[in-house]
Amino acid sequence: MKTADDYIYLAVWNALQPMASICVTGLDELEEHETEIMIADDTYNPEKILLKKDAFDSLSDEAKYLLRIILDAPQELIEVLYTQKYKKTSKARIKKFLLKCLHWNRLKVNKAFREIKKYLREEEII
């Protein structure tokens, strides 16, 4: 049984790996592609995949929840976080949502964003 964390991991991994020959965007598509043979370049090996999974697993619950909001938010929430001027989700609106609606303190919000930024920078190195 796939969990929400598996979906988030796949979504983040796909966002960070534009060279992947098969782009898995959801659990339904994952089940379809599990039996396919994927020819990848030398940068994709089991060790690197394990390192990426371990890096994702090391994220705090707050950072995982924030990723879930960014990558898999319901349409109603997307409308709240979306800016009409720039036609995209706003980091400031996400912070405001976390502070006002979820009652997170500023330290917790900033820590989650820093943790995700650090995670994404480490992914570039791996």
Q: Measure Cα distances from 14 to 24, 60, 63, 84 in Å.
A: 7, 20, 18, 27
Rg of the chain's alpha carbons, rounded to an integer?
Answer: 16
Query: What total number of domains does the chain contain?
Result: 1
**Sequential pLDDT tens for the chain (126 residues):** 566 566 666 666 666 665 444 444 444 554 555 555 555 555 567 888 888 888 889 999 999 999 988 888 888 888 888 888 888 888 899 999 999 999 999 999 999 999 999 998 887 766
Angle between helices 46-57 and 106-125 (to 10 degrees): 170
Contacts of 52 (CB under 8 A, 6+ apart): 13, 123, 126
Nearest alpha carbon to residue 98 among 117, 115, 111: 111
Q: Which domain, by its residues, includes 68?
A: 4-125
Alpha-carbon gap, residue 77 to 86, rounded angstroms = 17
pTM (global) more than 0.75: no
Contacts of 107 (CB under 8 A, 6+ apart): none
Contacts of 33 (CB under 8 A, 6+ apart): 22, 24
